[in-house]
A and B are shown apart, each in its own frame.
Chain A
Amino acid sequence: MAERKEIARREESPPEARRRRRAMVPAVDVYETEEGVILAADMPGVGPDSLDLRIEDNVLYLRGQIKEVPGEEVRPDYVEVRSREYFRAFTLGPEFDQEKIEASIKHGVLRVFIPKLETEKPKKIEIKVAS
């Protein structure tokens, strides 16, 4: 019997790998209050366990995965959403307290509250009326 050679499989064809890497940019609203900044991001399909929110070197990273995607048996007819990943990053200024960031996600909308440091909050200056 002839000797059979195992042909090493290519890890992944480039277009396939690219499609997987390419992430969508979620639409965001950023709103400033006296206490801090509120960020809202549309990430439909992302739940609390498929969301990855982190801070590294003053950059806030938003990452999320669409949890439920159709299986192999579903043949696409019409596609507007082509990726299953979201990614966006924001640089934070020094006026924010990175230790006290709060985040929650509901119905595919992420809400992040980034508080300002106590010393950075606006102070009310009272104006006395001279009588």
Chain B
Amino acid sequence: MAINWTWEWDPFREFERLQEELDRLFEWVSPFRTLRGEEVYPKINVGETENEVLVYIFAPGMDPSKVDLSLEGNILSVSGERQAEEALGVEEVRPEKYVRRERFSGRFSRVISLPESVDPAEVNAEYRNGIIMVRIGKKAERRGRKIEVKAA
């Protein structure tokens, strides 16, 4: 086996590599994947700024008109149906022709609670590249406020 002597051996890099491999393993058995190997659909990220709460719903391959999105108080629900086989572009899909089948197909429904500061009156949602991005304003009294420190 040829060894490249110019390569500097870094023992910490070896730990990192071990950690990376474990990371990948845990990714595979993550709670966002069922035992059959299907991923939870759709995955959701939530973040907030001073004035808004932002929700990213990772829902690739959807017809936006077939997504039901609702906000009641601070409870956001998203449901709908995805036919995974539509993406194949085949007229008649025959199950025995699948070599591998991992993508989620069927009805889905997820409910998440958002920070209580959200104002249900100020919502807009947009679908781009398979991500539904929901922006919700915060109630005026719950917005971050800068407090000025006065010199005595």
Residue contact A42 to B20, C-beta cutoff 8 Å:
no
Within 8 A of A (CB), among B90-139: 90, 93, 97-104, 112, 115, 127-131, 133
A14 touches B129 (CB 8 A): no
Determine whether the beta carbon of B27 is less than 8 Å from that of A24.
yes
Docked pose: A27 CA to B100 CA in angstroms: 10
Would A108 and B130 count as touching, CB distance under 8 A?
A: yes
A8 within 8 Å of B (CB atoms)? no
B19 on interface, CB distance cutoff 8 Å: yes
B99 to chain A minimum Cβ distance, whole angstroms, is 4
Q: Does B47 belong to the interface (CB within 8 Å)? A: yes
- A106 CA to B93 CA, complexed, in Å: 20
Contact A31:B43 (CB < 8 A) given known A70-B54, A74-B49:
no
How far, in Å, is B106 (CB) from chain A's closest CB? 14
Whether A42 lies near B12 (C-beta < 8 A) is no
Judge whether A130 is part of the interface by a CB distance below 8 angstroms. Answer: no
Q: Is B23's CB within 8 Å of the partner chain A?
A: yes
- The reply to whether B19 and A68 contact each other, CB–CB distance below 8 Å, is no
- Give CA–CA (A80, B110) in the complex, Å: 13
B3 shortest CB reach to chain A, Å: 23
Contacts of A38 in B (CB 8 A): 88-90
How far apart sit A106 and B89, CA to CA, in the bound complex (Å)?
12
**How far apart sit A105 and B91, CA to CA, in the bound complex (Å)?**
19
Q: Among B53, B100, B115, point to the contact of A29 (Cβ < 8 A).
A: B100
Give the contacts of A65-95 with B (CB-CB under 8 A). 66-68, 70, 73-81
Report the Cα distance A109→B12, complex, angstroms: 38
Residues of A within 8 A of B103 (CB): 27-29, 40, 42
Q: A22-B23, A27-B39, A30-B98 are in contact. Are A40 and B88 (CB under 8 A)?
A: yes
- Residue in contact with A77 in the complex, picked from B43, B48, B101, B128, CB distance below 8 Å: B48
Q: Chain B residues with Cβ under 8 A from A68's Cβ?
A: 128-129, 131, 133
- Is B73 interfacial (CB 8 A cutoff)? no
Interface: A25 (CB within 8 A): yes
- Closest B residue, CB atoms, query A38: B88
Given A18-B20, A22-B20, A107-B61, does the pair A30, B99 have CB atoms closer than 8 Å?
yes
- A27 partner residues in chain B, CB cutoff 8 A: 38-39, 102-104
Does A31 contact B129, Cβ atoms closer than 8 Å?
Answer: no
Apart from A22-B24, A29-B98, what 8 extra A-B contacts exist at CB < 8 Å? A18-B20, A28-B100, A44-B129, A68-B129, A70-B47, A70-B56, A81-B58, A108-B131
